[in-house]
Amino acid sequence: SNPVISWSSIDYFGRWKGLHYYARRFYAPCLISCDDTHRKKPVLNISNERMTAFEGVVKWTLRNNKAEILQSGEKSVNVPALTAQNVLTIDLSDDLKNRTDPREKYLEYSIMENGKVLSFGTTLFVRPKEFTFLEPKITYGISESEDKFALTFCAENYAKSVCLSLKTADCVFSDNWFDIHGKEPVTIMIDKASLSRKMTAQELSGELEIMHN
């Protein structure tokens, strides 16, 4: 029988494209990750695959589902070349007391070196389907330079795994499957050369589709 394009394969293709963005983050030479085996005491780990030491700052923020900051902290760290280290244990026992707390709170974290974010992530304390997501109400603006479009997104609440696509065209987004922490803007670039056809900012806006978890 002839192969057919079904909705599942389109969904598969969409997910497959998404893996490129996740893989790029996951295989970053300097990576932060979170071990939440003990939910109330998550451990942040830095894996430094570079030939030089990582000297920088670990930042973390506990937020609610409106993306409001409940607690935050940072720590200067030094991780030698080709080493992985647990660098910080966060005590959230006061913040995850009630049964509803893990469904309404999440942890965001990043590592910075010379003012630049090298790696970042978020951890939910329950499975996504058990988390109490509020309608994010995402808004965005478009600006352009000679060779790029810049899309700047904000939301009213926490938006997880935001996925961008174009209805009838193709392009390469500088990032995708990203989180929006409420009103804190996230800017995604599109190289005009990557567009499958030339378009104005207004046409791009008409083409843009935004999905989220």
Query: Which range marks the domain in which residue 200 is found?
Result: 133-211
Task: Report whether 195 contacts 210 (CB < 8 A).
Answer: no
Q: How confident is the model at residue 193 (pLDDT cuts 50, 70, 90)?
A: very high
pTM for this entry:
0.86
Q: Which residue among 81, 104, 130 closes a domain?
A: 130
Whether the per-residue pLDDT at 5 is higher than 50: the answer is: no
Domain of 74, CATH number, reads 2.60.40.10
Q: How confident is the model at residue 166 (pLDDT cuts 50, 70, 90)?
A: very high
Give the model confidence (pLDDT) of 98-133 as tens digits. Answer: 999 999 999 999 999 999 999 999 999 999 999 999
Give the model confidence (pLDDT) of 23-64 as tens digits. Answer: 677 777 999 999 999 999 999 999 999 999 999 999 999 999
Q: Is 11 inside a domain boundary? A: no
Q: Is 8 inside a domain boundary? A: no
Task: Report whether 45 contacts 33 (CB < 8 A).
Answer: yes
Percent of the chain with pLDDT over 90: 85
Q: How confident is the model at residue 1 (pLDDT cuts 50, 70, 90)?
A: very low
Per the structure, the count of domains in the chain is 2
| Residues ≥6 apart with Cβ < 8 Å to 87 | 44, 45, 46, 58, 75, 77, 79
